């Protein structure tokens, strides 16, 4: 019985280590958001806003200033940027891709592990957009 307990503990530690240390492959995550309409999904959120190059650059700065957020690929000069934001305690990764085309900025925020983000991505994106509105 004791051995089973320790095997379960080791499996849980291994799973948490994988969640925190799993590599972020740009080929998988740095893709066209293909946002045709605003959507709230169980796995994330999609948004379309009007915006020019300056708005895109400002949004990039807001996102990069978010705690536990790092650049995965792209840049504002390329008109597409992908970020990973990790949860505070367990380090669960959520990926956000923003893309600027014509006068539209598309945002796609989604989870990597699990089947529901419990609204975390929606809240994060809405926070970014409210700051954008407040700063712009």
SS3 4: helix
Cα(105)–Cα(26) distance, integer angstroms: 20
Per residue in 83-108, pLDDT (tens digit) is 999 998 888 999 999 999 999 999 99
Q: Is the pLDDT of residue 41 over 90?
A: yes
- 61 touches 71 (CB < 8 A): no
Domain span at residue 127? 2-135
Q: What pLDDT is recorded for position 83?
A: 98
**Tokens read off for 45:** 């959120």
Q: What pLDDT is recorded for position 13?
A: 85
pTM above 0.95, yes or no: no
CATH code where residue 105 lies: 3.30.310.80
In this prediction, residue 133 has a pLDDT band, given cuts at 50, 70 and 90, of low
Domain count, the chain: 1
Per residue in 44-97, pLDDT (tens digit) is 999 999 999 999 999 999 999 999 999 999 999 999 999 999 998 888 999 999
């Amino acid at each position: 019985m004791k051995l089973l307990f320790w095997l379960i503990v080791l499996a849980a530690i291994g799973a948490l280590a994988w969640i925190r240390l799993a590599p972020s492959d740009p080929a998988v995550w740095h893709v066209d958001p293909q946002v045709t309409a605003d959507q709230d999904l169980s796995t994330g959120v999609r948004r379309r806003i009007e915006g020019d190059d300056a708005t895109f650059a400002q949004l990039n700065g807001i996102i990069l200033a978010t705690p536990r957020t790092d650049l995965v690929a792209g840049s504002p000069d390329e008109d597409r940027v992908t970020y990973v934001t990790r949860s505070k305690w367990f380090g669960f990764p959520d990926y956000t891709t923003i893309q600027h085309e014509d006068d539209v900025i598309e945002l796609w925020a989604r989870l990597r592990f699990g089947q529901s983000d419990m609204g975390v991505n929606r809240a994060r994106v809405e926070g970014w957009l409210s700051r954008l509105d407040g700063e712009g």
